[in-house]
């Protein structure tokens, strides 16, 4: 199987990032290997629905989660849709393939009071690294920006006059995220401190060696900080993104507004944050006010 034309399609028409394209190629190569070894088929022209189900069983036997299998199925589906559209195939073998069901789980989020306390503690470090670390946590929590979007930011993406930042989201879609004046003030201060370092890159986030911060460095830092919070059932940059959406929704924000802020292509992606039940609100209240005796029913 030759995936060159499909890769060009992903980049040119779908606008997928290099990381996404690499992930798709890995899935396709794994699919090709299983089909060849299990069925003796080397051409996509000979692939049948039964062969695709054999591949899915192979994934299940490796104890890969239904969520991951679903993502891989989506990749293979897109590939065969592409081949059908291009006239390479007359019949799409993916038409009757259904991805395994994924159990919906509540997304973890951080209670606002805990996050405020963490930010207060981080603000005490006035070194360049301290100012940067405080800003990372605050931007992830207060804007809902994705980890990848934050890492891709350049200095010129900050619009001080418009009080917003320009980001490139999934499929390279541009959107503007409004920033609170206090946060924008800290961004300005960080850039002033960055200028003092004489760094030669316009990448917004720098590591301690004054080079663009890597995904691993950002992820490790955020995980370490968030893991210390009492309300954190998971710890990652995405936890803070989830917290932004959940807490903003709980405060009465419109769901479609949150959708636009987070860069979701459909409202269904945003609706997962409506999971905040009365019981969870009670728990948040009691944790934030342990001495309170008020009945909030």
Are 100 and 69 contacting, i.e. CB atoms less than 8 angstroms apart?
A: yes
pLDDT bin (cut points 50, 70, 90) of residue 274 is: low
Lowest mean pLDDT among 10-19, 112-121, 185-194, 243-252: 243-252
Annotation says 172 is catalytic:
no
Question: Is 180 a residue of the active site?
Answer: no
Q: Which residue, chain included where needed, has tokens 């692939």?
A: 47
What pLDDT is attached to residue 292?
A: 46
In sequence order, which residues have a C-beta less than 8 Å from that of residue 262 and are 6 or more positions away? 144, 241, 244, 245, 269, 270
Does position 216 have pLDDT exceeding 90, yes or no? yes
Compute CA 297 distance to the chain's CA centroid, rounded to the nearest angstrom.
35
pLDDT at 197: 94
Tell me the C-alpha distance between 257 and 95, whole Å.
35
What is the chain's mean pLDDT, rounded? Answer: 85
Q: Report whether 164 contacts 177 (CB < 8 A).
A: yes
Dihedral sign of CA atoms 193, 199, 202, 204 in order: negative
Among 111-125, 160-174, 178-192, 283-297, where is mean pLDDT lowest? 283-297
Note if 238 is an active site residue. yes
Output the pLDDT for position 127.
Answer: 95
pLDDT at 231: 61
Question: Which of 14, 77, 113, 238 is the catalytic position?
Answer: 238
Catalytic residue (one of 72, 132, 134, 241): 241
User: How distant is the alpha carbon of residue 198 from its chain centre?
Assistant: 31
3 state DSSP class of 90: coil
Residue 294: predicted pLDDT:
41
Question: Helical H runs in the chain?
Answer: 4-12, 18-39, 49-61, 66-85, 112-122, 128-143, 147-152, 181-196, 215-226, 237-250, 255-262, 267-271, 278-288
**Residue 278: pLDDT over 50:** no
Has 175 been annotated as catalytic?
Answer: no
| Interval 51-109: pLDDT, tens | 999 999 999 888 888 888 988 999 999 999 999 999 999 999 999 898 887 655 555 66
Rounded to an integer, the average pLDDT of 210-234 is: 85
> CA-to-CA distance for 203 and 28, rounded, in angstroms?
33
> Taking 80 as the threshold, does the pLDDT of residue 240 lie above it?
yes
Write down the CATH number for the domain with range 112-288. Answer: 1.10.443.10
Of 107, 132, 134, 146, the catalytic one is: 146
Residue 146: active-site member? yes
User: Is it the case that residue 241 has pLDDT exceeding 50?
Assistant: yes
Is 237 within 8 Å of 140 (Cβ atoms)? yes
In the predicted structure, residue 260 carries a pLDDT above the cut 80: yes
State the Rg of the chain over Cα: 23
Per-residue model confidence (pLDDT) at position 233: 65
Catalytic, out of 11, 77, 170, 175: 170
Q: What pLDDT is recorded for position 215?
A: 92
Catalytic site includes residue 242? no
Share of the chain above pLDDT 90, in %: 52
Which one is predicted more confidently, 2 or 36? 36
Is the distance from CB of 155 to CB of 202 less than 8 angstroms? Answer: yes
Identify the burial level of 240 via C-beta atoms within 10 angstroms of its C-beta, where 0-12 means exposed, 13-18 middle and 19 or more buried: buried
The answer to whether 3 and 86 have CB atoms below 8 angstroms apart is no
């Amino acid at each position: 199987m030759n995936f060159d034309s499909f890769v060009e399609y992903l980049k040119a028409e779908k606008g997928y990032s290099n990381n996404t394209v690499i992930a798709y190629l890995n899935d396709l190569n794994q699919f090709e290997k299983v089909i060849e070894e299990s069925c003796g088929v080397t051409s996509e022209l000979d692939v049948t629905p039964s062969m695709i189900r054999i591949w899915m069983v192979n994934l299940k036997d490796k104890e890969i989660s239904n969520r991951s299998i679903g993502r891989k199925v989506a990749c293979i589906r897109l590939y065969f849709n592409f081949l059908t559209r291009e006239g390479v195939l007359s019949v799409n073998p993916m038409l009757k393939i259904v991805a395994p069901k994924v159990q919906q789980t509540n997304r973890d989020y951080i209670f606002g009071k805990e996050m405020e306390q963490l930010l207060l503690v981080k603000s005490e470090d006035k070194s360049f690294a301290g100012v940067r670390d405080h800003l990372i946590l605050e931007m992830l929590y207060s804007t809902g920006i994705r980890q990848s979007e934050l890492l891709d930011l350049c200095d010129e993406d900050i619009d001080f006059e418009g009080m917003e930042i320009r980001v490139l989201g999934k499929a390279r879609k541009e959107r503007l995220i409004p920033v609170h004046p206090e946060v924008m003030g800290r961004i300005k201060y960080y850039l002033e401190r960055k200028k003092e370092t004489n760094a030669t890159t316009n990448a917004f986030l720098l590591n301690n060696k004054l080079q663009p911060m890597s995904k691993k460095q950002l992820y490790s830092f955020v995980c370490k900080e968030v893991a210390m919070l009492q309300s954190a059932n998971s710890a990652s940059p995405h936890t803070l993104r989830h917290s932004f959406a959940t807490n903003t929704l709980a405060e009465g924000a419109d769901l479609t507004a949150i959708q636009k802020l987070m860069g979701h292509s459909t409202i269904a992606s945003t609706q997962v944050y409506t999971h905040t039940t009365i019981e969870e609100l009670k728990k948040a209240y009691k944790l934030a006010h342990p001495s309170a005796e008020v009945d909030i029913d």
